[in-house]
Structure 1
Amino acid sequence: MKSALYLCLLLLGLQVQGQQQEQQIHHPPEDQSQADGENLPHVKLAPSNAAFAFKLYKQIRDESGNKNIFFSPLSISTAFTMLTLGARSNTLRELYKGLAFNLTQVGEQEIHEGFQHILQLLNDPQREVQLNMGNTLFVDNKVELLQTFVDHVKNFYYAEAVSSNFQNPEAKRQINKYVETKTQGKFVDLVKSLDPESVMVLINYIFFKGSWERPFNSFNTRDDDFFLDAKNSVKVQMMHQNKDFNVHRDENLSCWVVEIPYKGNVTSLFILPDEGTMKQVEDALLKETVSSWLKSLEEREIYLDLPKFSVSSSYDLKSLFKKMGVTEVFSDQADLSGLAKNLPVKVSKAIHKATVDVRENGTEASAMTMIEISVMSMPFPAPPHITFHRPFLMMIIDKNTDGVLFLGKIVNPAAKEE
């Protein structure tokens, strides 16, 4: 029987609250040519990572029924790509295909260099946004990892291998303490028990705490109805702004797209399908669609209503990946011979947890809020009133890496945590 590799993906999602940091936004060198930029490893990865994000979203959507969806595609792809460093043969090919990597367009070395660069950019201490992502391997002390694998995960993914005695209850407490610390207390006692066959736990976490460039005024927040469907509604706290936003009306897909930026070169897209068109918009979720939306955004005044919400989600990635054609890594046929010496292993469990908390607060008033002042223009039709009072989509995009950090669908803002 193969020993079990417990792949555990941890995520603390978006938390929009009022903590201003003192750093300045990091800007890449201005003399870098566009051609050079397109050849950067993380830029080459962006299309594949986006394709994976939307492929996984649709798989989750098909299984979730009428539930909220929220996850980090980047967290998941980082952890599984790190695992490819120890995968061989068909196990490796399945993983690359499942993660939407085309090796004829981007080589294996470039893939890992791309994630290395993404981690560097996300964890840049000079960024104005609080954004941290990291990886750790907890390894049973009876296992001897191959030095090549240890070197590669440390070099490309900044992951440390921590030795532990999995037969001792202290191992579970050690892992849970690490998770709780890295997610600032959002995930407590994540690992309830370790399987007797487990020899390794791989943890990936991502923590994002963003401040709106222009926060909502809590005095304008009021109780309102959020319509779950044609017959049912729940009461929510609805935030309000009447300002200039980057907006796009997609007539082909019958939806509104509103960009709400954060400080620190991170932005969010909130997508509001017309009544009855959610599935049409979801089916069209592709990297080309989002790219078209971003290019079509135009600044205009709108009346914006957005609910406050806090939702959590949990996913069995083993089940999801199997339905996406990645099966061997979870079976006794798994070839992860590049991980450990003389020890055949497979992935026995892969879980992903995410939480998102959206509130009015951004930062204290600053010069950034003065952008509200604009040049007078020619007479314009009355500002549209865009009210997110029915199910909507959201995504958080890091502009430094062109990466989809978070992706979700809010069906019920008032739903209890799962």
Structure 2
Amino acid sequence: LLLGACAAEHSEDRAPTLGSVTNSGAAPDETADPDPETTEELIAALNPHVVTAHNRLGMLIFGQLVSQTRPAGGADAETDDESVFISPISIALALGMAYNGAAGETETAMAKALQLEGLLQEGLLQEALLQEALLQEGPRQEGLLQDSTTTASPDADGTRLTRTDINASNLALLEALTGTGARLDIATSIWYRQEFALNPAFVEETQRYYRARISALDFAAPESVDVINRWVSDATRGLIPAVVDQLDEDQIMLLLNAVYFKGDWTAPFDPQQTRDMPFYRPSGDSRPVPMMYQDGRFGYFEDGFQAVRLPYGDDERLAMYVFLPPRGADFYEFSASLDYETLADAFSRFVPGHGEVLLPRMDVSYKTRLNAALQELGMGIAFDPGRADFSRLHPAGSRNIYISDVIHQSVLKVDEEGTEAAAVTSVDFRVTSLPVYDFRFQADRPFVVVIRDDATGALLFVGAVVDPGV
């Protein structure tokens, strides 16, 4: 979860903000229908370079996770095939909030891992100095950063950004994503140990740009675990009931981002057409699965593989893209080939065509630790108790804070009516009160699915389904 304090409202029993990030008081089912003109304005205000960075980060992590699931003996090895399903937007927003607490080498490393390094090369030093002033001067200087960073605003091509620009773009993305015809809820919360003081500037940034709920808890009280898990369950409509089993003595903060999606197909599948058919897994064996069927006009693309676009809702803004490798191809190599650039090119090349679509029902659950993937991308220092610098989290600039774990959980359910999906990303911050040690020892074949907002280009979910799970 994330860290927050000071002027924050602390109410452990308040329901999470869902349905509309622009109205923190709206109940989940009271979300107004999106205004097309307002939605277009929000999308126009987005910085596409930031969305690209989020998507690239998600696909880099996806590629690493798929590689990790490959059996040691190759695709033909006898093993339980594991599907991979993640939410790039959830991971990017959660780590974006954590990035606001980083300083020094940790800040630089996180910017590189989050694919923001090239965007932040101009104006970053100036903003870092201003942030240091905030830390030293306290609440009296809270307005300094916003007023003084105007000279480091992006160029016309959007490639010179400050931390504030990144945050503002994330807020614009959050607001733009609420204007879809399907249901898409994005919620954020920070739960921190009540004895721990948070930097007011960090709290203000998180509430302003990420609409985060910030709550202090007695981490020693058993009921605190229930409070956090209840928020997660509510935010994901029960698809993900829990993210934490216990709170340890050295934990000081949990930062959570939750994404919930529910969309009805624009053209539903007819349940009467669903038949049990074999699904061939990478290991070579097969098992019967409920295979849905429909024919009609679909967005279609073929270039050594097949891909089909299945839209949601009347506006068809959100869609599932299914990428099917050639029969007999190495699925793990195929998944690894689908990097961000390949997807971006493919998305622009779908054309309408008349055809048949056979897609299995899906019920996939996935949970993974992202530490290794993020360390591979260059932010290992953030996990190092002896080197991590998250001094922007604490009013006194304490440098004994580090990230212990980044955990990602997700669920995907697909049937004849549509899709329901959810994901939660949790960032676990801890404090080093003990000595620092040198180490701590502890379709009818697989396919890739991407759920994307075509208006903003944001990748909401991406998955490698090697077994539909039904």
Per the normalisation by structure 1, the TM-score is 0.82
Measure, in 1, the Cα distance between the counterparts of 2:359 and 2:30: 25
SS in 1 for 2:115: coil
Does residue 396 (structure 1) correspond to residue 448 (structure 2)? The answer is: no
Q: Out of 44, 58, 75, which is 2:90 matched to?
A: 75
Measure, in 1, the Cα distance between the counterparts of 2:270 and 2:416: 6
Cα offset, 1:414, TM superposition:
2.9
SS in 2 for 1:326: helix
The answer on whether the counterparts of 2:2 and 2:190 sit within 8 Å (CA) in structure 1 is no
Counterpart code for 1:83: A
The answer on whether the counterparts of 1:234 and 1:414 sit within 8 Å (CA) in structure 2 is no
Gaps of 5+ in 2: 4-28, 71-80, 122-158, 420-442
Does residue 122 (structure 1) correspond to residue 189 (structure 2)? The answer is: no
Deviations 1:138-188 (A, max 9, x none): 111101111100000011111121011111112111111111111111222
Deviations 1:261-295 (A, max 9, x none): 11152111100000215344333323332222122
The answer on whether the counterparts of 2:66 and 2:336 sit within 8 Å (CA) in structure 1 is no
Gaps of 5+ in 1: 7-19, 364-387
The answer on whether the counterparts of 2:282 and 2:466 sit within 8 Å (CA) in structure 1 is no
Any residues of structure 2 matched to 1:164-203 within 5 Å, and which? 164-203=217-256
Any residues of structure 2 matched to 1:236-315 within 5 Å, and which? 236-250=289-303, 254-263=304-313, 264=315, 265-275=317-327, 276-315=329-368
The answer on whether the counterparts of 1:42 and 1:113 sit within 8 Å (CA) in structure 2 is no
Cα offset, 1:317, TM superposition:
1.4
Distance 1:24 1:148, change over 3 A: closer
SS in 1 for 2:171: helix
The answer on whether the counterparts of 1:271 and 1:393 sit within 8 Å (CA) in structure 2 is yes
Q: Out of 79, 82, 95, which is 2:110 matched to?
A: 95
Measure, in 1, the Cα distance between the counterparts of 2:31 and 2:395: 47
Deviations 1:102-146 (A, max 9, x none): 22424122211111111112234xx42110101111111101111
Partner of 1:370: none
Cα offset, 1:87, TM superposition:
0.5
Partner of 1:54: 59
Distance 1:170 1:23, change over 3 A: closer
Aligned residues: 368
* RMSD of aligned residue pairs (Cα, Å): 2.6
SS in 1 for 2:294: strand
Distance 1:173 1:31, change over 3 A: closer
Deviations 1:326-381 (A, max 9, x none): 11111121110001234431111221100000000149xxxxxxxxxxxxxxxxxx
Measure, in 1, the Cα distance between the counterparts of 2:50 and 2:321: 21
Counterpart code for 1:96: A
The answer on whether the counterparts of 1:5 and 1:346 sit within 8 Å (CA) in structure 2 is no
SS in 2 for 1:60: helix
Measure, in 1, the Cα distance between the counterparts of 2:239 and 2:283: 34
Distance 1:390 1:135, change over 3 A: same
Measure, in 2, the Cα distance between the counterparts of 1:45 and 1:71: 19
Partner of 1:112: 167
> Which deviates the most, 212-221 or 293-302?
293-302
> Which deviates the most, 232-241 or 396-405?
396-405
Counterpart code for 2:341: E
Distance 1:119 1:393, change over 3 A: same
Distance 1:30 1:207, change over 3 A: closer
> Which deviates the most, 390-399 or 186-195?
186-195
Partner of 1:148: 201
Distance 1:258 1:122, change over 3 A: same
Identify, as 1 or 2, the structure richer in strand: 1
Deviations 1:161-217 (A, max 9, x none): 101111111211111111111111122233111121111111110000111111001
The answer on whether the counterparts of 1:5 and 1:347 sit within 8 Å (CA) in structure 2 is no
Distance 1:135 1:5, change over 3 A: closer
Deviations 1:378-410 (A, max 9, x none): xxxxxxxxxx21111110001232100000111
Any residues of structure 2 matched to 1:12-91 within 5 Å, and which? 24-28=33-37, 40-65=45-70, 66-91=81-106
The answer on whether the counterparts of 1:41 and 1:111 sit within 8 Å (CA) in structure 2 is no
Cα offset, 1:299, TM superposition:
0.8
Identity over aligned residues, as a percent? 25
Counterpart code for 2:411: T
Counterpart code for 1:273: P
SS in 1 for 2:58: helix
The answer on whether the counterparts of 1:42 and 1:401 sit within 8 Å (CA) in structure 2 is no
The answer on whether the counterparts of 1:394 and 1:408 sit within 8 Å (CA) in structure 2 is yes
